[in-house]
A and B are shown apart, each in its own frame.
Chain A
């Protein structure tokens, strides 16, 4: 039992940190809905003017950027999730020679930042004539996502009681059936959490998009936003609106999956 005093202190500290996290977001939203040409500055509220969104959408070409982003994100998240699920199952449940070594090699993909591999990656992509295509954005990100996803799913599968897998084998189920029929339903929170994380990271990836594509039609949202900001440095409201448009999909996804996401983040920490 925590005492009343302890509880108040907990709320106070949590409240302060929530404010620190929320204030910039509120600031951006307030700025995004300021009157066009307003001079009151960042974070001030002077009424709701949704016209900014239409203006930004047209001037900033956000329709095209978002479309590119969605194409890349959906391809990366769906392929990487399936591969991670299967690789995580193999590493977490099956015994095979060299499993540890292979797993550590895979972890390299988690540890090496995009900045370190971007230059050789560019030349490789150019050799395959893939620069300036969606493939140049999708394939490398599937690679890095599978590294994380395998790590994540392996941890989940290791937390599943072994006897469940063994019971399924004794019942005559193949590895394939055991994965899809017995384990996947249990893995749903972990899989959804993985999807949200991969979605977020892929959506926000900037450097890869900057280096690999120069075609305006292929630019993803964060890249497009940076170009948009370069062109509209004086119009604070328009800049904020662009930022809100680009950030919105991740926020919406998170809100929808929030319950599962939190459950996924705590499984493993506490035995369910």
Chain B
């Protein structure tokens, strides 16, 4: 059973606080949509409105083209996985899985079959007679998933379901949820504050901030072409480095100058006199190696070194602000070292100085 979901100019007010500010979002049938954003961005509130756990102040929410604003939670054909799992502690795993089916008057024989098959697909069969208190965090998490799965709802809602797991289990469960969703193809709305989860799981990602939807797109899209500086800073780890620069067109090149540093980029994008330049760490490399297509050099003092083994990110305090530089493998740099680095012009993104919005016309890689 599947369905599309739509938010049409949805608002949510808590007293004077506007938690969700005119959210419009179409989620396609069978899509895995991730709502991501920092705390207080309104992502969970949006999910709860879809679940019917919060009323909608204005606008409407539809499931399968039916407006559900005034439809009671229990009448919406949805299932939800909570951050704390919310398993019924006095019931066994079997009873937890069966509870929703019993409430919906499913025939007993069918309940048995559906619980067994959900338990099988999640590897929960050995634990069916246990109570939630006797399960590990990972097992409890799978029971919570199973409780949603067994209902075969139109939409799955997941509210930070992995945040109580340890890092290793989180990565494994991430893959498992994604696999399950692809197998059964149920429309899923997944809320997280973790941009890595968003990038790895979502068919599309909706980035929210202060109740406003900042951008919707595929993971690659929002990573490569952030709609504004907020998205650039939020998506990606380490985030996009950002600095302000003055521009001047000069024959076949554009000159950028910021804080006494000047660099020249080939091409003549249509840019205002002053822009915010954003650049991903992988487009910033040391000046001495393969600097053929790099522009620069810029220089500065190493502020921190983040060695991940396969690669190293180095934060450099340059004249224009702190820029993250990418090194392959390990780097011998230590804080205080002086380094020179260059920027890959294809990786440069330009944003409006006033509102931080992307100057899409100025994309160098589209030329």
- Residues of A near any B CB (own CB < 8 A): 161, 163-164, 166-174, 177, 182, 185-186
Contact of A170 among B51, B83, B87, B88 (CB under 8 A): B51
The answer to whether B73 and A164 have CB atoms under 8 Å apart is no
Q: How far is the CB of B188 from chain A (nearest CB, A)?
A: 15
Interface string of B79-92 (1 = CB under 8 A from A): 11011101111100
Q: Which residues of A contact B266 (CB under 8 A)?
A: none
Q: How far is the CB of A187 from chain B (nearest CB, A)?
A: 10
The 18 listed contacts between A and B (C-beta, < 8 Å) are: A166-B80, A166-B82, A166-B86, A167-B82, A167-B86, A167-B88, A168-B99, A169-B73, A169-B74, A170-B74, A170-B78, A170-B79, A170-B100, A171-B74, A171-B103, A172-B75, A172-B104, A173-B74
**Given A172-B103, A185-B90, 12 further pairs, Cβ under 8 A:** A161-B86, A164-B88, A166-B51, A166-B86, A167-B88, A168-B88, A168-B99, A169-B74, A170-B73, A171-B151, A174-B74, A182-B88
Q: Which residue of A lies closest to B55 (CB)?
A: A95
In the bound complex, CA of A107 to CA of B84 (Å): 33
Number of A-B contacts (CB under 8 A): 54
The answer to whether A172 and B86 have CB atoms under 8 Å apart is no
Q: B53 at interface (Cβ–Cβ under 8 A)? A: yes
Q: Taking A171-B99, A171-B103 as contacts, is the C-beta distance between A166 and B53 under 8 angstroms?
A: yes
Q: Taking A166-B53, A185-B90 as contacts, is the C-beta distance between A172 and B84 under 8 angstroms?
A: no
In the bound complex, CA of A182 to CA of B88 (Å): 7
Interface string of B29-71 (1 = CB under 8 A from A): 0000000000000000000000111000000000000000000
Q: Which residue of A lies closest to B74 (CB)?
A: A172
Contact of B80 among A167, A172, A177, A182 (CB under 8 A): A167
Residues of B in contact (CB 8 Å), total 23
In the bound complex, CA of A179 to CA of B88 (Å): 12
The answer to whether B84 and A186 have CB atoms under 8 Å apart is no
Q: Which residue of A lies closest to B89 (CB)?
A: A186
Q: Which residues of A contact B86 (CB under 8 A)?
A: 161, 163-164, 166-167
Q: Which residues of B contact A186 (CB under 8 A)?
A: 89-90
Q: Taking A166-B53, A185-B90 as contacts, is the C-beta distance between A173 and B103 under 8 angstroms?
A: yes
The answer to whether B84 and A161 have CB atoms under 8 Å apart is yes
The answer to whether B100 and A163 have CB atoms under 8 Å apart is no
Contact of B53 among A161, A169, A171, A172 (CB under 8 A): A169
Q: How far is the CB of A191 from chain B (nearest CB, A)?
A: 14
Q: How far is the CB of B227 from chain A (nearest CB, A)?
A: 33
Q: Which residues of B contact A185 (CB under 8 A)?
A: 90
Q: Which residues of B contact A173 (CB under 8 A)?
A: 74, 99, 103
Q: Which residues of B contact A161 (CB under 8 A)?
A: 84, 86
Q: Which residues of B contact A170 (CB under 8 A)?
A: 51, 53, 73-74, 78-80, 100
Q: Which residues of A contact B90 (CB under 8 A)?
A: 185-186
In the bound complex, CA of A250 to CA of B308 (Å): 67
Interface centre among A164, A170, A177, A182 (most CB of B within 10 A): A170
The answer to whether A163 and B89 have CB atoms under 8 Å apart is no
Q: Which 9 residue pairs spanning A and B have beta carbons closest together?
A: A171-B100, A163-B86, A172-B103, A185-B90, A167-B86, A172-B74, A163-B82, A169-B73, A164-B86
Q: Which residues of A contact B74 (CB under 8 A)?
A: 169-174
Q: How far is the CB of B26 from chain A (nearest CB, A)?
A: 23
Q: Which residue of A lies closest to B84 (CB)?
A: A163
Q: Which residue of B lies closest to A167 (CB)?
A: B86
Q: Which residue of A lies closest to B148 (CB)?
A: A170
In the bound complex, CA of A161 to CA of B86 (Å): 8
Q: Which residues of A contact B83 (CB under 8 A)?
A: 163
Q: How far is the CB of A159 from chain B (nearest CB, A)?
A: 13
In the bound complex, CA of A163 to CA of B147 (Å): 14
Q: Which residues of B contact A182 (CB under 8 A)?
A: 88
In the bound complex, CA of A171 to CA of B100 (Å): 4
Q: How far is the CB of B354 from chain A (nearest CB, A)?
A: 42
Q: Which residues of B contact A169 (CB under 8 A)?
A: 52-53, 73-74
In the bound complex, CA of A160 to CA of B37 (Å): 28
In the bound complex, CA of A163 to CA of B88 (Å): 10
Q: How far is the CB of A178 from chain B (nearest CB, A)?
A: 10
Q: Which residues of B contact A167 (CB under 8 A)?
A: 80, 82, 86-88, 147
Q: Which residue of B lies closest to A188 (CB)?
A: B90
In the bound complex, CA of A174 to CA of B102 (Å): 12
Q: Which residue of A lies closest to B82 (CB)?
A: A163
Q: Which residue of A lies closest to B157 (CB)?
A: A170
In the bound complex, CA of A150 to CA of B45 (Å): 30
Q: Which residues of A contact B100 (CB under 8 A)?
A: 170-172
In the bound complex, CA of A124 to CA of B38 (Å): 61
Q: Which residue of A lies closest to B77 (CB)?
A: A172
Q: How far is the CB of A96 from chain B (nearest CB, A)?
A: 13
Q: How far is the CB of B51 from chain A (nearest CB, A)?
A: 6
In the bound complex, CA of A174 to CA of B51 (Å): 15
Q: How far is the CB of A189 from chain B (nearest CB, A)?
A: 12
In the bound complex, CA of A186 to CA of B86 (Å): 13
In the bound complex, CA of A168 to CA of B53 (Å): 11
Q: How far is the CB of A100 from chain B (nearest CB, A)?
A: 15
The answer to whether A177 and B103 have CB atoms under 8 Å apart is yes
